[in-house]
Amino acid sequence: MIGHLINTINFVSLLGVFAVNLFFTESSLSNFIRTFIVDQKGLLLFTQYIPSEQYSRLIHSALTSYVGNAKTIEAVSAKYDTAFTPSHFTFGIWAVIYSALFLFSFLSIINTKRAESERIGRVVGPWFLLANILNVCWVLAFCFDKIFLSHLIFMSLWMNLFVIYSSAIRTRYGKELAHEFPLWVRLPFTLYLAWATMELLASFLLVLKYDVIKPFSDVFSKQKDTLYLFNIDFSHPVLSLVSMCGYVANLLNEEQWAATMVTISSVIALWFSKFKRDFTFVGVVLWTQVGIFLRHYSRAFVTISSSAPNVTTQPATPTVMQWSESLLIVTCLTNMALMTFEFLFSVWEVLSPSATVTIERIIEEAEEPKGSRLDIEFTGPSQKKKKSKVL
């Protein structure tokens, strides 16, 4: 009974998450809603029912100012752009994720297997409710330019999703131990966690660029005689830590950091593929890497030819930025090839029965105790016994 109630609450909270994300998204519907609330005094329809007129005006003024000053997710993303941000079409995966989450929430309510529905509500339900709350908090912090705060919230969201994922999918050495939950429970959170992993890496690079690299570079250019870099003054621990972090962060430029993040994402995907046998996670990482590659490829190699006559062009010397862009493109290509091979191999491994039997046999042989086995047969008058001894 409690689990079914939690499932119902989660469905309502997911509707709220979808509404908040839609409100802060650049679309005609969200623009109409914001205009209605701010300009047409739409909040009066709700605040007028508050008993005290003084509190009603105060709440209406606060909410109107809050909503009016909020930016859309696209506007903030364009303001804080990084080299790890993929092309716009890549974010269409949110439609797949929300569709899968709504399907999970709906099926968990109408599930005829009461015991299974109760188990889903008790095991996954509380964490899913917390994930919805953290999602809303992240959207609000991000749309009000609280970048570092939004990064901390998103880290909490990722850890929460990893707990859900670990509860729904239990494996050992790549071998699934038990089907705790059906596919319609596991697949949505696999998609959600994989995309959240890529978003977390992008958020880390965003904080690194705008909260560490850029402020440190600005201060160093103005006060380079007073800052300690190579000869750090350890009598001021805070200044020493900030100086060291800023110096280490500036060892690589933005494109090189993005190439590092792409490589890290591939390592994470390989871990999930090996120990969780999850090709869906690999597919989401591959999808994001394709988006990053296409964005930088179009910016680096697709040029508009000039129609002016008698214009002579000379080859320019490649700059550090151009070399870094090329490095990022090559890194994306290499990791995309690796992820494509791993994705196809994982799909074949899961769908091919012979491959599954072979892998299980290898795992069983690896778990047997080391040593040679000597088989001795004893034949008696009425029975034959076989005794095994491990040397």
Q: Determine the Cα–Cα distance for residues 115 and 106; give it in Å rounded to an integer.
A: 16
Q: Which residues pair with 374 in a beta bridge?
A: 389
Work out the end-to-end distance of the chain between its first and last CA atoms, rounded to an integer number of angstroms: 55
- Looking at residue 285, its pLDDT comes to 95
The residue type at 269: A
* Average pLDDT value for residue range 344-373: 62
- Looking at residue 28, its pLDDT comes to 58
Residue whose tokens read 């109760």: 118
- Looking at residue 235, its pLDDT comes to 53
Minimum mean pLDDT among 14-23, 199-208, 320-329, 356-365: which range? 356-365
The residue type at 131: A
- Whether residue 158 is predicted with pLDDT greater than 80 in this model: the reply is yes
Residue whose tokens read 């930016």: 71
Q: Determine the Cα–Cα distance for residues 344 and 282; give it in Å rounded to an integer.
A: 10
Q: Determine the Cα–Cα distance for residues 85 and 279; give it in Å rounded to an integer.
A: 23
- Whether residue 266 is predicted with pLDDT greater than 90 in this model: the reply is yes
Minimum mean pLDDT among 59-63, 128-132, 197-201: which range? 59-63
- Looking at residue 376, its pLDDT comes to 44
The DSSP-derived string for 228-292 is: -SSS--TTSHHHHHHHHHHHHHTTS-HHHHHHHHHHHHHHHHHHHHHHH--HHHHHHHHHHHHHH
Nearest to 271 by CA among 354, 194, 356: 194
Q: Is 145 helix (H, G, I), strand (E, B) or coil?
A: coil
Per-residue pLDDT of 174-222, as tens digits, reads: 444 455 677 888 889 999 999 999 999 999 998 888 876 665 555 555 5
- Looking at residue 340, its pLDDT comes to 93
Burial class of residue 48, CB neighbours in 10 A (0-12, 13-18, 19+): exposed
- Looking at residue 269, its pLDDT comes to 94
Query: In degrees rounded to 5, what are phi and psi of residue 227?
Result: -90, 145
- pTM score of the predicted model: 0.75
Q: Determine the Cα–Cα distance for residues 268 and 285; give it in Å rounded to an integer.
A: 9
